Amino acid sequence: MEVMEQALEQTSSYRWHANGQSAFGEDLLSLYRKLDGLFLRLAGLYRAREYQFPTFISARELAKLDYFTSFPQIVTFPVCLDAGEDNLQAFSDGSPLDGDGQVRLTATAPVREVLTPAACYHLYIHLQGQRLDGPRHLTTRNTCFRRETHYLPLQRQWSFSMREIVCLGSAEEVKRFLESARERVARIFAQIKLPIDWKPATDPFFRPQRSAKYLVQRLDPVKTEMVFEDRLAIGSVNLHRNYFGEAFDIRRGDEAAFSGCVAFGLERWMFAFLSRFGPSAGDWPDLDTLRVL
């Protein structure tokens, strides 16, 4: 691992920000785009419609998922100063940062938004209240934000990119999609010789032992991760059952729609690539000519 991090430091196209984020140039930006292009080609096999959503999600929508009680430790809120002129003046006059680089906030405006924690939430909100007359495939990529206790370059970041391919439909339609997508992803790993194991997993609930949802996930695993070299999950296949269908009143026939998604963490895929194939772009497998089938 350390070797990889030293290599990263020597790459002029990478810079790690101590606040848990990465900057890319040249080769790494090209790798980022090629990986996303690969996932988009996979999405294309399902004729998934692509959407681009904003950075913020309405807190009221997210509350329908009990997000704030399940993951309070992760959430990042966008906060502005109260717009009153006296308040802005007080902020501006009062030396806005302390010696430690910490912002001395004065009164803040009401908070009604959250920085996107998972790309696919936007899609369920988008489809809210709809009746589907067949399975629906969609895809989106977004920057996602999750506060952690510590950060590691490409592996664990406050903000990172997530591409998701989602299916909504009947239980059968969603399960068929997830099986098919998992097989196709496995063929990608086999073609580029990336050492990946599939492992059941659970989401990082706050106080898991007290969370009914965590216990349900333990009893009947619905999340399977793509684990690189036994140490880093670079993606996952998730069956949500009718959880989002019920929360957002999306129906398939007479029932709340089922949903499932395949999620790819772009920076973590980059980490796996750099670890496995080295820091030189010339040594990486050619993703543009890789056949997704």
* Per CB under 8 A, 76 contacts its own copies: yes
Q: Which is nearer to its own copies, 37 or 221 (CB)?
A: 37
Strand 251-252 vs strand 255-256: parallel, antiparallel, or unpaired? antiparallel
According to DSSP, residue 97 is labeled B
Q: Which is nearer to its own copies, 115 or 237 (CB)?
A: 115
Between the alpha carbon of residue 196 and those of residues 78, 183, 193, the distances in Å are: 36, 13, 9
Query: What whole-number distance in Å separates Cα of residue 49 and Cα of residue 278?
Result: 34
Q: Which is nearer to its own copies, 190 or 212 (CB)?
A: 212
Query: What whole-number distance in Å separates Cα of residue 61 and Cα of residue 33?
Result: 30
* Per CB under 8 A, 50 contacts its own copies: yes
- With contacts defined by CB under 8 A, how many residues of the chain interact with its own copies? 64
Binding piece for its own copies, criterion CB under 8 A, among 24-32, 164-172, 178-186, 277-285: 24-32
Per the CB < 8 A criterion, the answer to whether 193 and 50 are in contact is: no
Phi-psi region of 75 (alpha: psi -120 to 50; beta: other; left: phi over 0): beta
* Per CB under 8 A, 231 contacts its own copies: no
Tokens representing residue 87 in the block = 């308040």
Nearest approach in angstroms of CB 49 to its own copies is: 6
Q: Which of residues 256-285 bind its own copies (CB under 8 A)?
A: none
Residues for the chain: how many in total? 293
How many C-beta atoms lie closer than 10 Å to residue 90's C-beta?
15
**For the window 128-167, what string marks contact with its own copies as x by the rule CB under 8 A?**
---------------x-x-x-x--------xx--------
Query: What whole-number distance in Å separates Cα of residue 284 and Cα of residue 174?
Result: 33
* Per CB under 8 A, 215 contacts its own copies: no
* Per CB under 8 A, 60 contacts its own copies: yes
Residues at the interface with its own copies (CB under 8 A): 15, 17, 19, 21-26, 29, 32, 49-56, 58-60, 63, 68-69, 72-73, 75-81, 83, 85, 88-89, 91-92, 96-97, 100-103, 105, 109-115, 122, 126, 143, 145, 147, 149, 158-159, 206-207
